[in-house]
Structure 1
C-alpha cells in the first residue's frame, strides 16, 4: 500500500509541477521580465527566463515530455499495484479517483495558480526548467528535429499595435495604469494614422499680421491676444512668408527698433501637406526644433496652421488652454465661423500660440 500511495503522490506532484511551469511560462509578461532584468536581485533570473520565452518551444517540449512520462508511468505502475493490493470491486473507483485527482490537482489547480500568481512563481521555476531541459536533452533533440520541419520558414509574430492598445486597456481595468496613461498609449499609437488636417487650426481662425507693419504697430495687437508665434503675410493671407516671435518683438522695442518692419525680424516658416501624418510631423518638429508650420492644401493654398502644441494636445487627448485663450477648440470655432461669418469678434480671426 505504501508503494501505491508513493506512486500516486509522485504522479500527481510531478504532473502538477509541469502544469504550474507551463502556465507560468505562458502567463509571464515580457514587459515585466524586461523591467526585472534591468536591475535588482532577480535580473539574472529574468534574463534567463527571457531567453526561454524567446525560444519557448524548448521549455514547453521539456515540460510536456516530463508530464507525459509521469502520467503514463504513474498510471501504469499505480494500476499494477492497485490490481495486486485492492479488491476487484475497488479497481474502478480507484481509477476514477486517480483520474479526477490528475484533472483537478495536477491540471486545473496548478495552471490556475500559475496564470494568476505568475509574478511570484516565475523566479521559482527558472532553475527547475533548466535542469529538466538538460535531463531530457536526448528526447528534446528528436522533438526539435520534428518541430523544425513543421515550422520551417515560420517565426513568432511580433506584438501588434492592436495588442498594445488592448494591453493598455487591460492595465487600466486592473488598475496597473491610470485612464490617462492608457489614453496616451492609444493616442501615441494612433498618431501615425492621423493626418495633419485633423488637428490643424483652420485658415478662417488664424491670426496673422502684414509683414510690412512695424514692431510698434504689431505689439498692441499681439498683446491683446497673448500669443507667442504669429504668421506674417505679404499682399494677402494666402501668401505667408514667415512668422514672428513675441519675445523678438519685445526685444526689438527695448532696443529702439520699434519702427522695424516685421519682415526684418521674421523667422522662416515650414510648409507641409495636409496629408502628412502626425507622427512624421512630430518627428520633424523635434529634429529641426520647430514649433509651427503652415499646412498646404492639394492646390498649394493655405489650409491651416499646426503647432507643436496641437500635437501635444493630440497625445494628451485634451485641449491645452491658458488664461489668455478666448477659444478652447479652434476647429469648432472655424465651423461656427463658416455658418455665421459675423459671429466672431475682432474681425473674425483668432490667434494661435
Structure 2
C-alpha cells in the first residue's frame, strides 16, 4: 500500500490544482477557510525550485531507506543473540532487550510513523515542484519514477541489506532506534495502550521446534558435530519417550533372592556383570531393594560367606512404566539413585530402568563394557520370547 501512496498523491495533485482554479472566483469569501489555505499552497506559480525538488526526493528516499534498514534489523535480530550480548555485559544488549520487549512495538511504531511521514511529505513536495517546473503533464511520469525509486531504493535494497547484515548493523541501529523511540514517544504511547486493550496471544519467544531446527542448521554449517546434533534432538524427546521403552524387561533382569547367602550367590554367579542387583522376596514382583556388587565382594574377602543378601539390601525407588524418561532422569538426580524398579499397571514388576538407560537414550548409542555379553537387553528379551513361543 505504501507504494501506491506516491502515485495517489501526485495524480490527485493535478485534480486538486484544477479544482482550485474552478473555485478561484469564490476565493474572496473563502479566504479564512481551510480550502483557501491549501489551494494557495499548491497553486502553480510557474517558477519551481530544483533545490526543493531534490530536497523532497532526498527526504522520501533517504528517510525511507534508513527506516527500511532499521525495520529489517529489528525483525531479524533474534532474542538468543540479544541474550548473548547481555551475557557479555554489553550495553547494546540491554538496549536491544528493551527495544524488543513487548513484541518490538515501540521501535516498529517509530519506524512506520517516520517512514509514512517521509513518504507523504516527499511525494506531496515532489508533485508540487514537478508541476511548477515541468507542468502538469509531467506528474504522471514523475509519479511512476518516484514509485519505482521508492520500491527499489528505499524498500527492496535496504531491507535486503538489513536482513543480510543485521549482526554488523545491530550496534548502530540500536542507538538510532533509541533516539527515534524517545523522540516519538507521544505517538508510541497510544499504540501501547491499544495493544494493552487487545487480547494477548499465547506464544513463546523460542519453541522446541526452533531449537531442533537450529541444531539441524548448526550441523549443516559445521558448527555442531553430528553426535552433538543427535544429543540435542534426543534431549528434546526425553519427555516423549516412556520408561517402558528403554527399561530392561523383567525376563532378563538379574536378581537375587533375599534369603540367599553370599556363598550361594557367588557359586551360582562366577561373574556378576551389574553393579546394582535387585533383591526380591517371594517372587520378582516383590522387590525389597537392591544390593551393591562391591559390598558383596568385600564381605566375601572378609570370609563372611554365610551372611544373607538381605543384610546388604538398600532401598530402591519405583516408577511407573508410562512415565517419561525425563521423569526418570529427574528422579535419579533428586533422589541420588542409579536404579529404579518399573511398575506395570497392575503393580507388578515390569522391569528395571537405570541411569545408564537414560544416558543411552540421550546419546542414541548403547553403552557397553568388557563384561557385557549382550549390547541390548531389550533385544535379548525379544529373542527369548520368540524362542519360548517356538
Q: TM-score scaled by structure 2?
A: 0.80
Q: Check if 1:68 corresponds to 2:116.
A: yes
Residue 168 of structure 1 is matched in structure 2 by 215
> Per-residue deviation at 1:308?
0.7
CA distance in 2: counterparts of 1:322 and 1:310, whole angstroms: 14
Contact 1:169 1:182 in 2 (8 A): yes
The equivalent of 1:286 in structure 2 is 333
User: Where in structure 2 are the equivalents of 1:1-353 lying within 5 Å?
Assistant: 1-40=50-89, 43-55=90-102, 56-86=104-134, 91-149=139-197, 151=198, 153-155=199-201, 157-158=203-204, 159-219=206-266, 224-341=271-388
Structure 1 residues 140 and 124: alpha-carbon distance in aligned structure 2, compared to 1, 3 A threshold = same
Count of equivalent residues: 339
Deviations 1:149-192 (A, max 9, x none): 3x2x4155124333433343344344443333333233222222
Q: Deviations over 1:93-141 (max 9, x none)?
A: 4332321221122111222222222221212211111111121122223
Shift of 1:220: 6.0
> Is this contact kept in 2: 1:222–1:246, CA < 8 A?
no
Give the distance between the partners of 2:66 and 2:244, measured in 1 at CA: 57
Q: Distance in 2 between matches of 1:97 and 1:108?
A: 15
1:259 is paired with a residue whose SS is coil
Asked if the contact 1:219/1:249 (under 8 Å) is kept, the reply is no
Name the SS of the counterpart of 2:295 in structure 1. Answer: helix
Could you tell me which runs of 5 or more consecutive residues in structure 2 were left unpaired when the two chains were aligned.
Answer: 1-49
Q: How many Å separate the matches in 1 of 2:296 and 2:279?
A: 13
Inter-CA distance 132–12: structure 2 relative to 1 (3 Å threshold): same
CA distance, structure 1, for counterparts of residue 286 and residue 202 of structure 2:
53
> In the aligned structure 2, how far is the partner of 1:13 from the partner of 1:322?
68
Match of 2:29 in 1: none
Q: Which residue of 1 aligns with 2:45?
A: none
Q: Aligned in 2, Cα 1:339/1:85: closer, same or farther, shift over 3 Å?
A: same
Q: CA deviation at 1:263?
A: 1.4
Runs of 4+ in 1 over 6 A off after TM superposition: none
Shift of 1:314: 1.3
Residues 226, 324 of structure 1: 8 Å contact kept: yes
Question: Does the 8 Å contact 2:272/2:293 carry over to 1?
Answer: no
Pair 290,9 (structure 1): closer, same or farther in 2 beyond 3 Å: same
- Give the C-alpha shift of residue 225 in structure 1: 4.7
Larger radius of gyration: 2
Between 182-191 and 268-277, the greater mean CA deviation after superposition: 182-191
Q: What is the Cα-based RMSD across aligned positions, in Å?
A: 2.3
Task: Summarize the Cα distance change of 1:64–1:220 in structure 2 as closer, same or farther, 3 Å threshold.
Answer: farther
